[in-house]
Structure 1
Amino acid sequence: MSDALDPELIPANEACALLGISAATLYAYVSRGQLSSRPGPSARSRVYLRAEVERLAQRKRAGRGAERGAAQSLDRGLPVLETRISLIRPDAPYYRGRSAVAAAQAGATLEDIARLLWEC
């Protein structure tokens, strides 16, 4: 089966449409290693792996943000750093085991929190 007929490969215009980007941005993604391409059916055309394009489109739709980054790290099995300095929980961040919200409500200053973090 030739690449031109392979359903796993898509032309540049279809990749751009799936990603919602211009051809120049598509080429930038290839140059940065975010997508790979192969020669297409004509001398100047390129085709792209459908699975890679769809995966990138899904990441773009999901957005960035801290919560998304943490979830992605957990999904991919990347290490999550444990620390005594801070802990992020749904109710509040904690610094050295103390609630930052409770500290703020009690009138803690920036300097107070710095001393807590620096253990002095």
Structure 2
Amino acid sequence: MSAFPCSDDVLDESVVLIPLPEVADRLGVVVTRVHQMLRDHQLLAVRRAGIVGVPERFFDADGEVVRSLPGLITVMKDGKYSDEEILGWMFAEDSSLPGAPVDALHGPLAREVVRRAAAEPF
């Protein structure tokens, strides 16, 4: 068991994962701070081929965590979704959005994505 939550890899192989040490470098923090962010559900991590990483699409063009992401994760955790279910929902294509919900977090539809997550039946 790890000291921080880490999901099974439920994502398509095309989803780029950033290893935790690189996440720490991007954010300008130590890797133990990234572990705390995972425990606090500010980020979600996936284990792929023995390496734990965070989806690249969780970061904006400046290398910061997408602003709405922690709130979205909290809303879905409050709805009793598992990390795997959250990741599956975030990365599933949605015809009413420009791509998947994770992509819409990068633009003006971020609040709509969080609203939809709150309205999802458990």
Place the TM-score, normalised by the shorter chain, in its bin: 0.3 to 0.5
TM-score (norm: length of structure 2): 0.38
Report the structure number with the largest CA radius of gyration: 1
TM-score normalised by length of structure 1: 0.38
